[in-house]
């Protein structure tokens, strides 16, 4: 059990730490040094803070918790993708993925323990949402995957996608604060333009991101461009129908000037007909966007199957023929359940 008299040090701002250091009779500049150890250097314990005096480290241990995320298990795919199970301080587990390619290292991270959205084609959607991740737990996933990229592939992380477990926009303030720590000079200093937050589509929060002037990229998990079909596979569509999403995405673009990525997992006999390609074209024409067609990764509980590769190419050609930018994304890490929609704590 955690000692209730101790605070989680990574929930304290620099100003709060400076005040507490000052009240304890320590120079306030040491608070800045401690803050740097926490957010720039990602230390796992107070005792690693080598330029902090022993008396301050003892005081830190007496007054604060440093609740870090640990790697519980790691699996490597035949294609080099590495899936990680992260153990949180309360024993909960989330998953993250390192996806290597010749010119980029991408981290896929989680924002919640489980998910509340129940998308029928997604393994995480079959889990209950247990809790939101704290900003430090989001930061730790990125820090640990960055370390892994450097030691395994001798390359630092270049890109981050919030496409792991959970719906980022239902944990809005913690995700925003986590991204701030990852991108700010006081933190990891990574580029916001290399970060993509993926949402199943919560219109009012998409607008809020526009109002907040975010500097990262937005992806919408669309998967069907017809309300009736989309509601069948994504119940969130009942309360956030396509018309509202189009309005919210245009609002986001007007405020940020960042084009949206539409993600579309191509599922056999569900959303892969030419008629459905035409519905996607109609939607995409109303939003400044590009389209990622994703090879669907089957999960045992869904009964869905991946569309035939030829059918995916025909679908892509149809959409592209109308002047829409289309990328076909091949599956990575499928053999270790690390691919899109497969994260469900099987380790």
Looking from the CA of 304 toward its CB, the CA atoms found within 13 Å total 25
Look up 247 and say whether it is catalytic: no
Name the catalytic one among 15, 70, 95, 108.
95
- In angstroms, what CA-CA distances link 126 with 59, 69, 121, 252, 265? 44, 24, 9, 30, 17
Phi-psi region of 166 (alpha: psi -120 to 50; beta: other; left: phi over 0): left
Distant-in-sequence, close-in-space partners of 336: CB < 8 Å, separation ≥ 6: 75, 76, 77, 81, 83
Distant-in-sequence, close-in-space partners of 54: CB < 8 Å, separation ≥ 6: none
Interhelix angle 28-39/14-23, rounded to 10 degrees, is: 140
DSSP codes, 279-329: HHHHHHTTSSEEEEEEE----TTT---BPPHHHHHHHHHHHHTTT--EEEE
Name the catalytic one among 108, 115, 122, 340.
340
Look up 340 and say whether it is catalytic: yes
- In angstroms, what CA-CA distances link 39 with 55, 175, 338? 21, 16, 28
* C-alpha closest to that of 336 among 320, 328, 347, 325: 347
| Residue for token pair 């993926």 | 198
In whole angstroms, give the CA distance from residue 347 to residue 337.
Answer: 9
Helices (H), the chain: 14-23, 28-39, 54-63, 135-153, 172-183, 203-211, 227-233, 242-256, 274-284, 309-320
Q: Per the structure block, which two tokens stand in for 223? A: 């998967």
- Active-site residue numbers? 95, 340
């Amino acid at each position: 059990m955690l000692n209730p008299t101790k605070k989680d040090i990574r929930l304290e701002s620099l100003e709060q730490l400076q005040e507490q250091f000052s009240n304890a009779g320590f120079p306030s500049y040491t608070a800045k040094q401690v803050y740097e150890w926490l957010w720039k250097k990602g230390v796992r314990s107070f005792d690693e803070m080598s330029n902090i005096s022993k008396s301050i480290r003892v005081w830190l241990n007496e007054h604060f918790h440093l609740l870090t995320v640990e790697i519980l298990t790691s699996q490597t795919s035949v294609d080099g993708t590495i899936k990680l199970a992260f153990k949180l301080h309360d024993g909960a587990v989330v998953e993250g993925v390192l996806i290597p390619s010749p010119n980029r290292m991408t981290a896929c991270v989680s924002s919640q323990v489980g998910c509340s959205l129940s998308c029928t084609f997604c393994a995480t959607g079959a889990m209950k949402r247990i809790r939101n991740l704290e900003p430090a737990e989001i930061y730790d996933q990125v820090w640990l995957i960055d370390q892994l990229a450097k030691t395994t592939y001798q390359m630092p992380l270049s890109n981050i996608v919030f496409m792991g477990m959970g719906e980022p926009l239902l944990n809005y303030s913690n995700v925003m604060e986590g991204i701030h720590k990852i991108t700010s000079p006081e933190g990891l200093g990574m580029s916001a333009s290399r970060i993509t937050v993926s949402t199943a589509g919560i219109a009012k929060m998409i607008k809020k991101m526009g109002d907040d002037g975010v500097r990262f990229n937005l992806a919408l998990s669309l998967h069907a461009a017809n309300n009736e079909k989309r509601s069948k596979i994504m119940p969130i569509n009942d309360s956030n129908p396509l018309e509202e999403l189009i309005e919210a995405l245009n609002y986001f673009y007007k405020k940020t000037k960042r084009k949206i990525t539409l993600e579309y997992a191509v599922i056999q006999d569900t959303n892969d007909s030419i008629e459905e390609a035409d519905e996607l074209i109609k939607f995409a024409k109303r939003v400044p966007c590009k389209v990622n067609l994703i090879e669907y990764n089957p999960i045992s509980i869904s009964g869905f199957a991946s569309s035939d590769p030829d059918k995916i190419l025909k679908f892509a050609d149809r959409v592209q023929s109308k002047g829409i930018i289309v990328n076909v994304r091949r599956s990575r890490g499928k053999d270790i359940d690390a691919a899109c929609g497969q994260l469900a704590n099987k380790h």
